[in-house]
Amino acid sequence: MKVNKKQKVKKQSFIEKIGHKIPDPTIIFMILFALTMVISFFLGGTEFTTLGQDGGTVTYQIKNMFEPENMRWIIDNALLTNWLSYGGGVLGVILIVMLGVGLSEESGLLSALIKKVGLKVSDKYLPFLLVFLGIMSSIASDAGYVILIPLAGLLYAGLNKNPLIGMAAAFAGVSAGFSANLIPATPSDIILGTNAQAFAAAQGIPFVTAAGAAIKPATMHYIFIVVSTVALTIAGGFITIKFIKPKLENDSYIIPEDLNLEEFTIKPEETKALKWAGLGLIVAIIIVGILYFGPLAPYEVLNEATGEMKTVSPLVDNIILVITFLFLMPGLFYGFKVGKFKNSSDVVSAMSKAMGSMGSIIVLSFFSYNFLSLLSYSQLGTYLTYLGAEGLQSLGLGEYPILLLIGFIITTAVINLFVGGMTSKWLLLGPIFIPMLYNVNSSMTPDLVAAAYRVADSSTNIITPLMSYAGLILVYMRKYKPKYSVGDLIGLMFPYSMTFLIMWSVILILFFVFGIPLGI
């Protein structure tokens, strides 16, 4: 046993060694909160000047947070203003989305859809389909990891081909293509968009596109992610066929005797329930249509600031509730038909379980949002942005926005190798880089910076052993290749990671250069 332990230590990569020493993100925000308090004590009273939105100058003064009135502010606002109401209620919006998506997942609907589609495709198009299904599975948290990846291995085993080929394609879609999708207002869209709006508001950065149009947080990247979904699907399928398949097709593998084939088949009752889920979707669309053309129809009001009439669309402005409802109804219909839900108590339990999966987000948000509020109130956040912007300007990067964009993507991609979790990194990087890059060059709008974060955060997920599901993927692959190692996995997925990172970055740059809207 001692020998085995030594062997495991030797197999640890450089990234693993560093990553294991990094505290949990919640602990990081606790430390940052304390550090900000200490720094405010030493820099309290420091004044600095920046350019205002009107071209004039604005003078700021750093607050010493140990002064009585500032300490009272921390205590008075810790629960309601700085946490639950941060950014206009970001946390509430995230939780609402999970009610609908979570119910569909708990009912078994999303898993059944993945199996149904995956089992009906021909060998020729299978790599493209697996990447596509992996990308789309991001709406269902871990369904892609738990269902699609082992299913992909089974499909290839059934074709007498190396199961790792299919698993690699599925893993690339699920993890490296995480931030792309064809469905608007997914949980990742909400987390990125609503927090980006809060980060911008905290330092007076206008939440508008490069063309001056107001940004809608939930759909600010929709056009970009639709294009990305198509591009990544094609690229992922091509890499699988041209690089992964030739590498693995003559490699040895085993088929485990205890492989449960029934786990990855569609039962007759699930097929019937899927039809009911389709009926549920139709009912939901009809109800939304009635509301849109009825009591929640668009109407015009006078814009007192401009004196012009503007159109207000209650349903579109609350697209989060619409998306939640469109997931909720099919999930209900499927759950009752398949027998997962017997009564209303089962539905409530499913919703509660979905909310339970958000426990880590709730804990993280309490400490992170209080830290971000402290950073804003003390003016240290503005000061940090000021110093960073001055540094970038001194390097002459203000005249090269594409270099700024590429630099941010590379920085985030590297950090992603050591710090997992999309939300925690965004809460750490977003409040710094959104105002900083905008102050260096006003074309670096919040939606553009957030899109760059999407690209970088997703692309390197599959080549870091610190990604939360990396161990699970290894377990799946070792069923067919018992001695498969972390190094083998990273080597297998590296072509996907680098191709996605470069191609996705180029797509974003083209959107920027040609002024194509990122979203709607």
Domain residue limits at 126: 18-265+341-513
Crossing angle of helices 401-415 and 422-440, rounded to 10°? 160
Q: What is the pTM of this model?
A: 0.75
CA nearest to 199, candidates 35, 40, 49, 381: 381
- Residue 376: predicted pLDDT: 85
* pLDDT tens track for 120-169: 777 788 999 999 989 988 776 566 787 788 888 878 887 788 999 999 99
CA nearest to 477, candidates 485, 487, 469: 485
Domain count, the chain: 1
Q: How much is the average pLDDT of 48-60?
A: 69
pLDDT at 43 > cutoff 90: yes
Does residue 315 lie within any of the structural domains?
A: no
Does residue 276 lie within any of the structural domains?
A: no
Q: Which two tokens stand for residue 135?
A: 């990308």
What pairing do the DSSP bridges indicate for beta strands 47-51 and 57-61?
antiparallel
* pLDDT tens track for 335-393: 999 999 999 999 999 999 888 877 877 888 899 889 989 988 998 988 887 888 788 87
- Residue 483: predicted pLDDT: 85
* Cα–Cα distance, 387 to 381 (Å, whole number): 10
Listed in sequence order, the residues at least 6 apart from 469 whose beta carbon sits closer than 8 Å to its beta carbon are: 142, 145, 175
* pLDDT tens track for 451-475: 999 999 999 988 887 676 777 788 8
Does residue 231 lie within any of the structural domains?
A: yes
Does residue 286 lie within any of the structural domains?
A: no
Listed in sequence order, the residues at least 6 apart from 155 whose beta carbon sits closer than 8 Å to its beta carbon are: 118, 119, 126, 130, 166
DSSP 8-state class, residue 98: H
Crossing angle of helices 344-356 and 319-338, rounded to 10°? 130
Does residue 4 lie within any of the structural domains?
A: no
Does residue 367 lie within any of the structural domains?
A: yes
Quickly tell me which residue has 């402005």 as its tokens.
317
CA nearest to 173, candidates 412, 503, 496: 496
Quick count: other Cβ atoms within 10 Å of Cβ 306? 8
Does residue 463 lie within any of the structural domains?
A: yes
What does each C-alpha distance from 109 to 10, 141, 352, 354 come to in angstroms?
43, 13, 17, 14
Q: How much is the average pLDDT of 265-288?
A: 93
Does residue 520 lie within any of the structural domains?
A: no
Is the CB of residue 170 less than 8 Å from the CB of residue 131?
yes
